[in-house]
Structure 1
Amino acid sequence: MFSLADLFDKVLAKSWHGSLESLTGEKLTASQCEEALDLLKQESLGLSNGDRIVVRAHNDIFTVAVMLAAWRLGLAVVPVKGDASEAAVQSVASDCNAKVIFKDGDVVSLETYRSEQKRIEFCVPPRVTGVDLALIIYTSGSTGRPKGIMLTHQNVLTSLESITQYLRLTEQDRILCLSPLSFDYGLYQVLFALYKECTTVLYDKSFNPIHALKALSENKITILPIVPAMGAALVKLVSLVKPDLSLLKSITNTGGHLSEYVIRAWKEYCSQLNIFSMYGLTECKRAMYLEPELWEEKMGSVGKPIPGLDARIFQYDSDADSYREVAENEVGELYVRGSAVMQAYYDPNAQGGATIVHGLYRDDNWLATGDLFSRDNEGFYYFKGRSKDLIKQAGFCLFPKDLENLIDTCPLVHLSVVMGSKDKFQSEIAVCVVELNENTQDSQQKFKVWLKENLDADYAPREIKFAETIQLTANSKVDRKLLQQELQT
């Protein structure tokens, strides 16, 4: 397979033996792909290879058909949340200079499009290849301003091959896609079905843990991709709903650390379950995974690099402009290298996020993730938090992710977030925001006692704030930006 356009051709030729289904039983067909292609080939749109198309991505079959048709024409797909505000969509469209937008079942031209001078004029449309731009994925903005991440067809195909290999996906697997298609984690669940010829069921409703648990049972799901907040919400109700999970063999996780408490709770209900703890970022899709058989032996680790990718922990010496790989158990910044690494941010002036360190030739690049890690003597990696999130409290270095992992083991806790703030003397301190299973005064007091008993005073957050609900982003990640704003008010 050389590009995602080949996926479209397989569906059209009826040589694809997988299935993409909705909860109501609608399936992706060749006729839907033909309809989507005709929609994009309207002469009035004037679309050509390299143009960008914004897609208001709902978890429905025709949205996927439009994406496939766009790749067949050599367009770059820019997925945005289906119910995103018009202002947010226009901001994305303007940033990447998209020519058209797909919404409400139709494709319309965008007034914000600025005419581009083509360096190469073709007599006939060029063939779509692996180096063509396939996706511009905008980050959720949970830790800063959203940035457009450029991925080629080859970037995506490399990730698909690696992930389907280590997840041990087969044609018999059935995946429940709970995440929106605007989130790369959701979109890849669809691509797994097309690439590996398994089945993906699109969950096209607002996330509701009771309904999602019933959907797991009714659709005979074998693979459940989640983010930590989803995993905690689902397992909290699993003994109440009592779904039939006899066919569920694996849970995959992204968007943060899946706590020991949540893993054990799932294992208690479904002992045969394989739980894949993973780490990744949209800029390279996936970087690490832990073999599910090692979940208890290496609790807290995100494992080792995925197939086809190299990962190293470096410390940068700005004076010498050089990089030194750290020793075992030493903390440094994670760098990754491989053909899944993004091309760049669409806006070359985008600040924050990951950065690319260029080597001697075009693809000789390291991606500086901006995330802090350590590595043990057996080569297993441990996430310590984002470098800019490191908190220096009274001379001690506090890693938020380490603290969150510990706090999440408390049976009273549903979700926790540790963030940096300032005290009345403007000194840096750690603040812990906690969502308890039952937010009563008695539970709050018990949690404070538990914290004193389980955490050294020098590394304990100076402030504890109890929240009825910790707000999540559209991708079900903790909305750290909103929390930070609330702490400053």
Structure 2
Amino acid sequence: MIIEAVPPALPLDRLVLRGAADAPALLLRSGPLSYEALRAGVAKLAGWLGTVVREPGARVACWLPKTELACLMPLAAARAGLVYVPINPLLKRAQVAHILADSGAMLLIANAARLATLEPGDRAGAEMIDERDAWAGVEDASPLGDPSRHDPAQLAQILYTSGSTGKPKGVMLNHANLWFGAVSVATYLKLAPHDRLLGVMPLSFDYGQNQLLGGWYAGASIAPLDYLTPRDVVKTVAREALTTLAAIPPLWVQLLEQDWGDAGATLRRLTNTGGALTVDLVRKLRARFPQADLYAMYGLTEAFRSTYLDPALIDAHPTSIGTAIPLAEVMVVADDGSETIAGEEGELVHAGPLVAQGYWQDTERTAERFRPAPAWSRHGGIAVWSGDRVLRDGDGLLHFAGRRDAMIKTSGNRVSPQEVEDAALATGLVVEAVALGLPDARLGQAIHLVARAAPGADRESLPRALTAALPNFMVPQAIHWREAMPLNPNGKVDRAALSQELSRDRAA
């Protein structure tokens, strides 16, 4: 879907005006919260924030599950002229202390149990307020009721990456970045006021937060959920008659193992990012939810979202990540800086109004990732050079090949981990697979496969199946079976943890 001209960006807090006053904006366990109540809540919370933190542009952090306050914070902080720093509730003391110190947050809102885990030196000067005390202050606050007139170029948020390599880094997003992200996603997903979205991803994750922002742009309603088991997701879909379910591949695998019965009958839209869909996963999702459109998407925090595949093409092109989303220019750049031809692998480079403002207080890493767009770019300006390798097929559709820094170099061959993983999944013997390259004196890197077996599968037959399916240099040197894969705080398979685990095992 195309947006013919770039619409004007507005201050982020104006999203509260998009829905009908009596329509539900949030579907909370305590009951629905209308758009009228959302407007009042954002105004009161913004007014309270302004009394606690009086410095314009100050950073305010929130370390909470998906409570009502956590859902309102992005808009309330924006209205108060503050910079919001959401912290994943799954993070532990060391990561939170780093985020507080790095961001220079003046305020942290969390629950008592989380605050109790922090030591005095972890607070980095931030005032600590329990969520219950914050709500008490909000009740007595004067509302900051008028929609703001902030410059859309003003910094609005700092989103910290999961830190799988090194310490987390903060991606800077202004009001325009967040507003345009909501516009783009609501447009190509064809969201409408009657839609009811499930929010299972962390709100500190750009994909999770956009369930709120994109849904509110469309005037739709969102059911925030902190689930303990996949069964909780199934029950919530049924209880709230949800139309839209967003997840990442590890969660899809778990959800497909559930007995849905009639629970998914209301679903009209499934969206995936945070990892590539496999042919098998696409087929199973299409079979389980035949009435729902399946959107394969690709994104990175530094540009929020880059591509999506039209659901009409998913059956014929199940592994494609599609084409550029509205408002984005996506290029495939060859190693010599030229535009690639069909079938030629290159780096995905994203230009346009969704490109973030760089990394907070990190000019060196900003200069590495945020660089001028190629001379032949239509949009120009600063682009995000993703480091991800893709290729464009003859139909103009993009296909993910792997990360430049994740490619395995074995026996002089460059091997995409995803190709090995896809081959393992295609055998039907495994339901999850992660390919890693570990140092090897003979090969440079040896391919190791970590796998979770399919129910009743003959594990001993997997090496033979892979030998039959892959060139010799791509066949894993070792297979490690796991009953469950480790996940990082955003719910993705933690490749770094697996690599460290295998390396320790080999050294022991």
Q: Structure 1 length as normaliser, TM-score?
A: 0.88
Equivalent residue for 2:425?
408
Amino acid at match of 1:380: L
Tell me the alpha carbon deviations over residues 435-481 of structure 1, each in whole angstroms, 9 at most, x when there is no partner. 1124x7x6211222322222222322222211121101121101011
**Cα 1:91–1:422 shift into 2, 3 Å:** same
Equivalent residue for 1:473?
488
SS at match of 1:50: coil
1:21 counterpart = 2:27: yes
Q: Is contact 2:18–2:219 with CA below 8 Å preserved after alignment? A: no
**Cα 1:409–1:137 shift into 2, 3 Å:** same
**Cα 1:352–1:488 shift into 2, 3 Å:** farther
Structure 1 residue corresponding to 2:392, chosen from 367, 375, 378: 375
Amino acid at match of 1:269: R
**Cα 1:127–1:152 shift into 2, 3 Å:** same
Tell me the alpha carbon deviations over residues 5-49 of structure 1, each in whole angstroms, 9 at most, x when there is no partner. 2235678xx84845112234252624433432242122xx34232
Q: Is contact 1:52–1:96 with CA below 8 Å preserved after alignment? A: yes
Q: Name structure 1 gaps, 5 residues minimum.
A: 115-125, 318-322
Distance across 1 between alignment mates of 2:483 and 2:417: 21
Higher alpha-carbon deviation: 351-360 or 145-154: 351-360
SS at match of 1:324: coil
1:314 CA displacement? 1.2
1:270 CA displacement? 2.2
Superposed structure 1 runs of 4+ greater than 3 Å apart: 8-11, 14-18, 108-111, 349-354
Distance across 1 between alignment mates of 2:268 and 2:304: 23
Give the structure with the higher percent helix.
2
**Cα 1:17–1:264 shift into 2, 3 Å:** same
Equivalent residue for 2:500?
485
1:429 CA displacement? 1.9
Distance across 2 between alignment mates of 1:161 and 1:132: 18
Distance across 1 between alignment mates of 2:288 and 2:27: 27
Structure 1 vs Structure 2 CA RMSD: 2.7
Amino acid at match of 1:453: A
Tell me the alpha carbon deviations over residues 174-218 of structure 1, each in whole angstroms, 9 at most, x when there is no partner. 101111212111111011232111011011333x11121121111
Higher alpha-carbon deviation: 55-64 or 297-306: 55-64
**Cα 1:458–1:352 shift into 2, 3 Å:** farther
Structure 2 residue corresponding to 1:91, chosen from 98, 101, 106: 98
Equivalent residue for 1:72?
79
Q: Is contact 2:53–2:107 with CA below 8 Å preserved after alignment? A: no
Structure 1 residue corresponding to 2:124, chosen from 112, 118, 122: 112
Distance across 2 between alignment mates of 1:264 and 1:74: 46
Amino acid at match of 1:20: L
Amino acid at match of 2:295: F
Higher alpha-carbon deviation: 141-150 or 468-477: 141-150
Equivalent residue for 1:179?
201
SS at match of 1:388: coil
Structure 2 residue corresponding to 1:446, chosen from 461, 467, 470: 461
SS at match of 1:277: strand
**Cα 1:412–1:352 shift into 2, 3 Å:** farther
Count of equivalent residues: 463
Q: Is contact 2:91–2:489 with CA below 8 Å preserved after alignment? A: no
Q: Is contact 1:18–1:193 with CA below 8 Å preserved after alignment? A: no
Distance across 2 between alignment mates of 1:339 and 1:16: 32
Distance across 1 between alignment mates of 2:372 and 2:99: 27
Equivalent residue for 2:316?
297
Structure 2 residue corresponding to 1:324, chosen from 338, 363, 371: 338
SS at match of 1:345: coil
Equivalent residue for 1:5?
13
Q: Is contact 2:24–2:33 with CA below 8 Å preserved after alignment? A: no
Distance across 2 between alignment mates of 1:7 and 1:401: 38
Residue correspondence of structure 1 range 311-390 to structure 2 within 5 A: 311-317=330-336, 323-349=337-363, 351=365, 355-358=369-372, 364-390=381-407
Equivalent residue for 2:239?
218
Distance across 2 between alignment mates of 1:411 and 1:353: 44
Amino acid at match of 1:274: D
**Cα 1:236–1:475 shift into 2, 3 Å:** same
Equivalent residue for 2:446?
429
Q: Is contact 2:298–2:305 with CA below 8 Å preserved after alignment? A: yes
Amino acid at match of 1:331: E
Tell me the alpha carbon deviations over residues 53-84 of structure 1, each in whole angstroms, 9 at most, x when there is no partner. 11113211122223321110111111002243
Distance across 1 between alignment mates of 2:288 and 2:260: 12
Distance across 2 between alignment mates of 1:128 and 1:334: 32
1:353 CA displacement? 11
1:139 counterpart = 2:146: no
Distance across 1 between alignment mates of 2:88 and 2:288: 33
Structure 1 residue corresponding to 2:293, chosen from 265, 274, 281: 274
SS at match of 2:447: strand
SS at match of 1:55: strand
Q: Is contact 1:16–1:194 with CA below 8 Å preserved after alignment? A: no
Q: Is contact 2:162–2:168 with CA below 8 Å preserved after alignment? A: yes
Q: Name structure 2 gaps, 5 residues minimum.
A: 1-8, 127-147
Equivalent residue for 2:150?
128
1:41 counterpart = 2:50: yes
Q: Structure 2 length as normaliser, TM-score?
A: 0.85
SS at match of 2:432: strand
Equivalent residue for 1:257?
276
1:306 counterpart = 2:312: no
Distance across 2 between alignment mates of 1:245 and 1:283: 33
Distance across 1 between alignment mates of 2:83 and 2:242: 31
Tell me the alpha carbon deviations over residues 79-119 of structure 1, each in whole angstroms, 9 at most, x when there is no partner. 0022432332121011121121122399x9995249xxxxx
**Cα 1:65–1:249 shift into 2, 3 Å:** same
